[in-house]
């Protein structure tokens, strides 16, 4: 079942990436905050709707206690996602998504270390193969090579007018998906630990969905208030121009539901598998928004994708 749940998550989050890109305005420096408003709104609505199905009967004190316990995961996710939205202003989805989702490999390693230290590793020792090591190595090399390629592209454009430079931030722009990867690694590893039945914090899948949704709702309100103060005008998320942000937020929530149940079932298998949704993102970006990359970029992106696929294959074979 974890494999089917992971595949569903990949599809939803791959579509979310496409609509995030469509909803991103390169010249709008606050575009990422507007996306955060929409994601917060959708997740908040779903969180309230799911409350009757909670494994824990929420009181104010219980809600606050569980929110604190889940905060390492929720805050890491929120930070990573807002950073990811910002990065879409400067990089193609085909680059952003694979680099970001190297977190699937790193979070699996982090969970392995934690469960080993706690003595709950059990059969996990048998689930790491040569493919895991090779896949992780390819991902790291691909990320570094991509930074070099981006810097070369920026240098080649040095004589162009600033407004015409597609890669005007060069390798610096790659910091966005790299930072996303770091924070998402923390969040994914925390989820795997929190949802584990033996070594976890005792929070059920529905509780995690509710807590994450409410936390992101608060973050969305903060983003909306910031936009109000900064622009001296209320941001209207329901304007016709914001449809892509709405669809992206709905896809994000759909993926989140499948992700939580997949992670609760087989965290160390699901994390690398879910990370492969970058393949869906890259294919959709090429088909629908006609993203075109240089040969060097294709090679780097392909390397990262191959690394993630190897991890997914390895985990699937282990199952």
User: pLDDT band for position 105 (50/70/90)?
Assistant: low
Q: CA geometry: angle at 84 spanning 93 and 37, to 5°?
A: 115
- Note whether residue 280 is domain-resident: yes
- Note whether residue 312 is domain-resident: yes
Q: Please tell me the least confidently modeled range out of 121-125, 176-180, 272-276.
A: 121-125
Q: Please tell me the least confidently modeled range out of 68-72, 179-183, 212-216, 251-255.
A: 68-72
The pLDDT of residue 247: 96
User: pLDDT band for position 319 (50/70/90)?
Assistant: low
Instruction: State the Rg of the chain over Cα.
Output: 19
Rounded distance between C-alpha atoms, residue 293 and residue 256, angstroms = 30
Is pLDDT of 173 > 90?
A: no
Q: What is the DSSP string of 98-161?
A: HHHTTHHHHHHHHHHHHHHHHT--GGGGGG--HHHHHHHHHHHHHHHHHHHHHHHHHHHTTTS-
Is pLDDT of 110 > 90?
A: no
The pLDDT of residue 224: 97
Q: What is the average per-residue pLDDT within 249-257?
A: 96
Is pLDDT of 200 > 70?
A: no
- Note whether residue 168 is domain-resident: yes
- Note whether residue 63 is domain-resident: no
- Note whether residue 270 is domain-resident: yes
- Note whether residue 57 is domain-resident: no
Rounded distance between C-alpha atoms, residue 30 and residue 24, angstroms = 9
Alpha helices in the chain (DSSP H): 2-22, 31-50, 60-87, 93-100, 103-118, 130-156, 175-195, 205-231, 243-265, 267-275, 277-288, 295-318
Q: Which domain holds residue 111?
A: 8-22+29-51+72-318
pLDDT, tens digit, 9 for 90 and up, residues 49-101? 998 888 777 677 777 788 888 888 889 989 999 988 888 777 766 666 666 76
* CA dist list (Å): 74 to 140, 217, 312: 26, 11, 25
Is pLDDT of 199 > 60?
A: no
The pLDDT of residue 296: 79
Q: How many folded domains does the chain comprise? A: 1
Are 307 and 105 spatial neighbours (Cβ–Cβ below 8 Å)?
A: yes
Looking up tokens 């696929």 gives 309
**312 Cβ contact partners less than 8 Å away, ≥ 6 residues apart:** 272, 273, 275, 276
């Amino acid at each position: 079942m974890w494999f089917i749940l992971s595949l569903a998550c990949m599809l939803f989050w791959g579509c979310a990436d496409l609509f995030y890109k469509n909803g991103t305005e390169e010249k709008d420096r606050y575009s990422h905050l507007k996306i955060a408003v929409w994601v917060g709104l959708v997740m908040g609505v779903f969180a309230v709707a799911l409350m009757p199905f909670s494994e824990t009967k929420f009181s104010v004190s219980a809600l606050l206690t569980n929110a604190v316990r889940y905060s390492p995961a929720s805050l890491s996710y929120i930070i990573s996602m807002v950073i990811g939205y910002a990065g879409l202003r400067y990089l193609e989805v085909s680059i952003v998504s694979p680099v970001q989702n190297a977190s699937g490999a790193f979070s699996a390693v982090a969970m392995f270390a934690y469960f080993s230290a706690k003595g709950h590793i059990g059969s996990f020792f048998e689930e790491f193969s040569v493919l895991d090591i090779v896949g992780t190595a390819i991902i790291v090399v691909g990320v570094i090579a991509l930074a070099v390629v981006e810097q070369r592209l920026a240098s080649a454009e040095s004589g162009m007018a600033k407004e015409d430079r597609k890669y005007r931030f060069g390798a610096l722009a790659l910091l966005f998906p790299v930072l996303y990867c770091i924070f998402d690694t923390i969040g994914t590893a925390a989820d795997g630990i929190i949802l584990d039945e033996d070594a976890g914090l005792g929070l059920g899948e529905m509780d995690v969905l509710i807590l994450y949704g409410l936390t992101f709702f608060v973050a969305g309100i903060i983003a909306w208030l910031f936009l109000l103060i900064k622009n001296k005008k209320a941001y209207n998320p329901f304007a016709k121009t914001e449809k892509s942000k709405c669809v992206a937020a709905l896809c994000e929530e759909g993926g989140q539901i499948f992700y939580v149940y997949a992670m609760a079932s087989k965290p160390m298998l699901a994390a690398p598998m879910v990370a492969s949704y970058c393949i869906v993102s890259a294919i959709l970006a090429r088909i629908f928004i006609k993203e075109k990359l240089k040969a060097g970029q294709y090679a780097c992106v392909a390397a990262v994708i191959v690394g993630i696929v190897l991890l997914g294959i390895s985990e699937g074979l282990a199952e």
